[in-house]
Structure 1
Amino acid sequence: MELTEPLDSQRVSPQAPTQADIDEFRRLGAEQAAGVAIVSTVLRGRDYAATVTAYLSVSYDPPTLLVSLYEGSRIAQAVVESGQWALTLLPTEQKRAANWLASPGTPTEGLLNQIEFKRGPATGCAVIAGSLAYFEVATTAVHVAATHLLVVGEVVGMGSEAGPSPEASPLLHYAGDYRRLKP
């Protein structure tokens, strides 16, 4: 049954969105819960890592993932140049790590000194300890999309640090804050 009440709507100009358009888009987009992960890579012996919520499974055959990274960020440039990366899915206990790696101005030296991690066996990229799951990925394509790079890659290694547990709760981002799935 079609409702007759009009939708609350704001028209957006694709040629030149205003700051109000951008702010409203971000506000409305925050109404979707997203899993929190860490993307990491190693470039010239230095670790790079950042918190992300914009990632997805592209295909199961072959296993393929996509991550969206701000084009001007250190992590985007390092991931593109290195050609390999790891995606670590975080449990709620890793909120501190997520906050640290989402903070602007994190140091380039010693970035992971305060976070427990292991090296992925296939890529050598950092995998955060206690992860729900991790995927090591070899980049197959990079697409420019507005202010971001969509980095696509085939999974070359995967596993879990936490192991299956009915008590495990993924760290989620919803309405501008971190949340947990289970109380």
Structure 2
Amino acid sequence: METSGPLDARQWGEGPPSDADVDLYRRLSSDITAGVAVVSARLRNRDYAATVSGFLSVSYDPPTMLVSLYAESRIGEAVEEAGSWALSVLSGKHQGAATWLASPGTPLHGLLAQVPFRRGPATGSAIIDGCLAYFELRTVSVHAAATHLLVVGEVVAMGSAADPSEVPDPLVHFGSEFRRLAP
């Protein structure tokens, strides 16, 4: 049933959105609940990693995923240059690691020193210990989109590092915060 009455909407015509439009977009888009993961890549014997909430499954056949990375970030540059990467889907117990790897200005040397991980068998990228699921990927395309890179990768290995006896407790991002689904 269609209802009547005005929607609280902002529109703009020609040209870029104003600062107020960008702020409104940030506020409204922060109310989109998303899973939280860590993207990692190994480039020239150095680990790169960052927390992301912009990722999705693209196809089952062949298994393909996409991640959105800030184009000027170290992780964006590393993933693009390395050609392979890993995505570790985090549980609630990883909230500290997610916050650490989402913080601006994290050190390049020793970035993962306080985050337990193992090397992925196919790419050598870091897989976060205890993650709900992990995917190792080979980049098949990179698309520039505004300030970000949309990196599409074909899955070359996958699994779970979670303890089967633990209750699934995915970490999500909502309202500009990390939150747990389990009480």
Same fold (TM over 0.5): yes
Once the two structures are overlaid, the 10-residue window that deviates more, 19-28 or 152-161, is: 19-28
Matched AA of 1:115: V
Matched AA of 2:67: V
1:161 aligns with 2:173: no
1:22/1:165 CA distance change after superposition, 3 Å: farther
Residue 166 of structure 1 deviates from its aligned partner by 6.7
Matched AA of 1:140: V
For residues 133 and 66 of structure 2, the distance between their equivalents in structure 1, rounded to whole angstroms, comes to 16
Runs of 5+ consecutive residues of structure 2 not aligned to the other structure: none
1:5/1:54 CA distance change after superposition, 3 Å: same
Q: Name the SS of the counterpart of 1:16 in structure 2.
A: coil
Residue 12 of structure 1 deviates from its aligned partner by 3.3
1:81 aligns with 2:95: no
Q: Once the two structures are aligned, what percentage of the paired residues are identical?
A: 60
Please show how residues 34-113 of structure 1 align to structure 2 within 5 Å.
34-113=34-113
> How big is each residue's C-alpha offset from its partner over 1:113-167, in whole Å with a ceiling of 9 and x where there is no partner?
0010000000000000000000000000000001000000100000001144571
State the TM-score, normalizing by the size of structure 2: 0.97
1:142 aligns with 2:142: yes
For residues 142 and 53 of structure 1, the distance between their equivalents in structure 2, rounded to whole angstroms, comes to 18
Partner of 1:171: 171
Q: Name the SS of the counterpart of 1:5 in structure 2.
A: coil
Matched AA of 1:139: T
> How big is each residue's C-alpha offset from its partner over 1:54-92, in whole Å with a ceiling of 9 and x where there is no partner?
000000000000000000100000000000000000000
Q: Name the SS of the counterpart of 1:23 in structure 2.
A: helix
Matched positions, count: 183
Partner of 2:21: 21
Matched AA of 2:88: T
For residues 104 and 14 of structure 2, the distance between their equivalents in structure 1, rounded to whole angstroms, comes to 29
1:11 aligns with 2:41: no
Residue 18 of structure 1 deviates from its aligned partner by 1.1
Residue 178 of structure 1 deviates from its aligned partner by 1.0
For residues 87 and 166 of structure 2, the distance between their equivalents in structure 1, rounded to whole angstroms, comes to 22
